[in-house]
Amino acid sequence: MQADFMNKKKKVLVAMSGGVDSSVAAALLKQKGFEVVGMYMRFFPGTARQNKPISEEKSAEAAACMGIEHYTIDLSSEFYKEVINYFIKEYTLGNTPNPCVVCNPFMKFDTLLTESRRIGASYIATGHYVRIGSDPETHRFYLKRAVDKKKDQSYFLCLLSQRQLSQTLTPLGDISKNRVVEKAEALHLPAAGQKESQEICFIPDNDYVSFIREKAKAGFAKGPIMDKKGNILGEHRGYARFTIGQRRGLRLSAPHPLYVLDIEPNKNAVIVGPEERLYKNRFKANRLNWISGQTLKSPLLVKAQIRYKHRAQEAIVSPKGHEMVQVEFKKPQRAVTPGQSVVFYDGDTLLGGGTIIRDRT
């Protein structure tokens, strides 16, 4: 953590989901001498949250166990408008969005900062596995991968601003997940032993197709499945059911496996081909954020990561106007997917990120 712990009575507002990570983050801060206040952010209206493995009730129980103040803030309306609508829209455009990357800066961190000012807290904190620090010479804050590389979540925080980083504590960045679990068990926290959810928080059973279909008609009309030459090979039941690199659900008979290479919403078409056609070494990205706050002026050698589980690879990122960059990998990468985030690293330091766009040029 980057805070100076000499002042033991600084107040910190902790985002508490009820899970192990955020509960232990709050406990560690309390042990450091902070005055800790826990806040649960309710993203789902009515009783929908009751079906989630991590709940408002567990958050309150964890706070009670630690003897800290706790309250809930209802963000269900804002969450639907800013995150769920974005998620649905991107799929109807033929993209594969990453809602967590959008939710973190514009819902979670902005809300935490607003609430911290209201209650007089000096810091905000989360249970993310990431390290935040500052450069004494430039006075700018930086974001680094967690010590536990398997749990590192810096990818999801690529859109954070200097203002957000300057007030954020991340107690779990320097410790392992195993140590966090041990800590939860030692403190008898309610979340100890709780299984982690790997699903998108607002998608029941991870069935995103059914979720989108209930709320949008675009992207679910029947259309052609074609090869790169325009030959029609079959029929799909909606391009929103597919993402780049997908093989299942095509229902095609072919002498070799076929994969989704592209989606063309204007033609209501899904483009397929052999796996080797999935590899590309060049693409463009927009919606850029540079952690330093400074815009890229010239080509830069980085390690680029194109999805959460992707291993970052060497690439050159070059400015293409004020709002766009071109990314060129040294070696072609599989399934570069429009809508997903691309994140740039220098070693363990996260430089920034953006959104992969569909480039027809």
Phi-psi map region of 139: left, alpha, beta (phi>0 left; psi -120 to 50 alpha): left
* pLDDT by 10s per residue, the chain, length 361: 455 444 456 999 999 999 999 999 999 999 999 999 999 999 987 544 444 445 789 999 999 999 999 999 999 999 999 999 999 999 999 999 999 999 999 999 999 999 999 999 999 999 999 999 999 998 999 999 999 999 999 999 999 999 999 999 999 999 999 999 999 999 888 877 777 766 688 887 889 999 999 999 899 999 999 999 999 999 999 999 999 999 999 999 999 999 999 999 999 999 999 999 999 999 999 999 999 988 999 999 999 999 999 999 999 999 998 789 999 999 999 999 999 999 999 999 999 999 999 986 5
Task: Produce one character per residue of 86-106: b if its CB has 16 or more CB atoms within 10 Å, e if not.
Answer: ebbebbbbbbbbbbbbbbbbe
Torsion sign (Cα): 283, 285, 289, 294 = positive
Cα–Cα dist 227/274, whole Å: 10
Domains of the chain (ranges plus CATH)? 11-205 (3.40.50.620), 219-273 (2.30.30), 279-357 (2.40.30.10)
Q: Which two tokens stand for residue 327?
A: 């990314």
Predicted structure pTM score: 0.91
Q: Active-site residue 103, yes or no? A: yes
Q: Which two tokens stand for residue 343?
A: 């994140």
